[in-house]
A = this chain, B = another copy of it.
């Protein structure tokens, strides 16, 4: 039994196409896991939560885990949550607005339940068990269709005054710059997200009809193969990501900045140039100690599920 009195817990991460469900022991070891495809009904929050509850019971049962060992159920969601009321305020990719979850889970599972934004769950997991282990100030960026971040201070999730901490994708990195999906312009997300990279490639016109050009990965491949246009797009993304991280570093002075999400695999074309840009352009004392690091995430796509399961340690 752990210090918290919780021997095992359930973590659920709702994404845009599937829910990732896991049962973890108190050390963060995944005892069992499963996925539910929610594409057919995800905009219906009742149906989605119902399907998740059913699958969770199956996972626990199938793995032969005694339900009385489980002390906590955590849910990570792609949106803004109000931890105090246990409600999802807004999850644009699911189309959910003001959905109560904690109370529902508490009733269903008969366990303490918790709710957390997925980027913060991933950051907590990386801080407790991954690339930010033991560091006092951890910022974990998720680069995907959008850009978000979780901030972990002293092992606890930092939510901010209005629960909107870590909205780094909407940091303004260019005055009157590229239009962003949020309706404003010049946001980091409009330059350095997967969506932005794909859009920049499409705008060039030269790859019309070429398969795979709806994925940022393909643009990175073309850049790696020597295509000058693709290289330009990728370099622009890396430059603005560098500016974004400089700004985070100069405000927060993190010990480690972790890059997660699919794009974190792009070590040569993205992570290394960003590291070099930050080393030269951030406030010197913040990055010169040798202890400051920009690193790739260690836990992969399970990070938000793991962080949700261990949320009781990060509150």
- B182, B243, B254: which contacts A175 (Cβ < 8 A)? B243
> Which chain B positions have C-beta within 8 A of A159?
253
Contact (Cβ within 8 A) A164 B247: no
Kindly specify which of A22-30, A37-45, A196-204, A278-286 makes contact with the partner chain: A278-286
> Which chain B positions have C-beta within 8 A of A291?
162
Contact (Cβ within 8 A) B283 A161: no
A34 at the interface (CB under 8 A from B): no
If A162-B286, A184-B281 touch, whether A173 touches B170 (CB-CB below 8 Å) is: no
* CA A283 to CA B148, docked complex, whole Å: 12
* CA A167 to CA B287, docked complex, whole Å: 12
A117 to chain B, nearest CB (A): 11
> Which chain B positions have C-beta within 8 A of A240?
175
Contact with B along A83-113 (1 / 0, CB 8 A): 0000001100000000000000000000000
If A255-B161, A255-B162 touch, whether A250 touches B167 (CB-CB below 8 Å) is: yes
Q: List 9 A-B contacts (CB under 8 A).
A: A80-B285, A136-B161, A161-B256, A164-B250, A164-B285, A170-B250, A171-B247, A247-B251, A252-B252
Residues of A whose CB lies within 8 Å of any CB of B are 80, 89-90, 135-137, 149, 151, 153, 158-168, 170-175, 182, 184, 239-240, 243, 246-248, 250-256, 280-283, 285-287, 289, 291-292
